[in-house]
A and B are shown apart, each in its own frame.
Chain A
Amino acid sequence: QKEVEQDPGPLSVPEGAIVSLNCTYSNSAFQYFMWYRQYSRKGPELLMYTYSSGNKEDGRFTAQVDKSSKYISLFIRDSQPSDSATYLCAAGFQKLVFGTGTRLLVSP
């Protein structure tokens, strides 16, 4: 079993839709959780960074961590074509463990 599991997609939605991206993890020692966005041929760009359980909101993005079920989520409201990218969840501290990424396609 991989330490961080993520559905690879692709996930296709129309512009304006609410997008839900999810990951599960197996290591209960993980305390820090991150979401990165990666455009083609570019490096991962940090979107959200949370410590332990709870919600964190930043503009159109909301990150949720449920440590009891080892489940992390990213919600994108009012999705835009420019949100089309691969979204990577990660857990850990100095040694990050990444999911394989979910490819999101937002059509105009």
Chain B
Amino acid sequence: NAGVMQNPRHLVRRRGQEARLRCSPVKGHSHVYWYRQLPEEGLKFMVYLQKENIIDESGMPKERFSAEFPKEGPSILRIQQVVRGDSAAYFCASSPPTGGQPQHFGDGTRLSIL
């Protein structure tokens, strides 16, 4: 069974470019979560999505960041006009549609901004 798959594992962008991070959840999981981990800090919740719906985006920066989980295909975290402060590891997690189940994480995408 494949776990949560994230790609790319490493992404380098110059300031002002766009970054697209992809996440394929565990097969059968319909809930996807994105977290950001800055150096020496814990993981911070960004957004919670179900298929075609954003359920909770309370952790998303107000500008430049967006997320989607379409009916078909992976979830995408999109960062427009990246800045140096966006450099971090971005982790995706998924959980099954039944309630009370834990989240399982992918190995993350490490975003570096030049």
Is B truly associated with A? yes
Residues A94 and B42 in contact in the complex (CB < 8 Å), given A43-B91, A49-B102: no
Interface of A is mostly: strand
**Contacts of A84-100 to chain B: CB distance below 8 A:** 88, 90, 93-100
CB distance from A5 to the nearest CB of B (A): 10
Chain B nearest CB, measured from A37 CB (Å): 11
Say which residue of A42, A45, A93, A98 sits within 8 Å of B42 (CB atoms): A98
- How many A-B residue pairs have C-beta atoms within 8 angstroms? Tell me: 58
Q: Kindly state whether residue A46 has any CB partner on chain B within 8 Å.
A: yes
Min C-beta distance of B59 to chain A, whole Å = 7
CB-based contact A36/B105 at 8 Å: yes
Residue A44 lies at the interface, judged by CB distance under 8 Å to chain B: yes
- Within the complex, the shortest CB–CB distance from A48 to chain B, in Å, comes to 9
Inter-chain contact A94/B56, CB cutoff 8 Å: yes
- Asked whether, in the complex, the Cβ of B42 is within 8 Å of the Cβ of A95, the reply is no
Q: Which residues on A sit within 8 Å (CB–CB) of B100?
A: 32, 51, 93
Which interface class (under 10, 10 to 19, 20 to 34, 35 or more) fits A?
20 to 34
Are the CB atoms of A88 and B106 closer together than 8 Å? no
Complex partner residue of A101 from B42, B44, B45, B55, CB under 8 angstroms: B42
Nearest first, the 10 A-B pairs at minimum CB distance are: A43-B105, A98-B42, A43-B107, A100-B42, A49-B102, A98-B43, A44-B105, A95-B45, A94-B48, A43-B106
B residues lining the A interface (CB < 8 Å):
4, 6, 31, 33, 35, 40-45, 48, 55-56, 58-59, 91, 95, 100, 102-108, 110
18 residue pairs from A and B, CB less than 8 Å apart = A36-B105, A41-B110, A42-B108, A44-B105, A46-B102, A88-B43, A90-B43, A93-B100, A94-B48, A94-B95, A95-B58, A96-B33, A96-B43, A96-B103, A98-B43, A100-B40, A100-B41, A101-B42
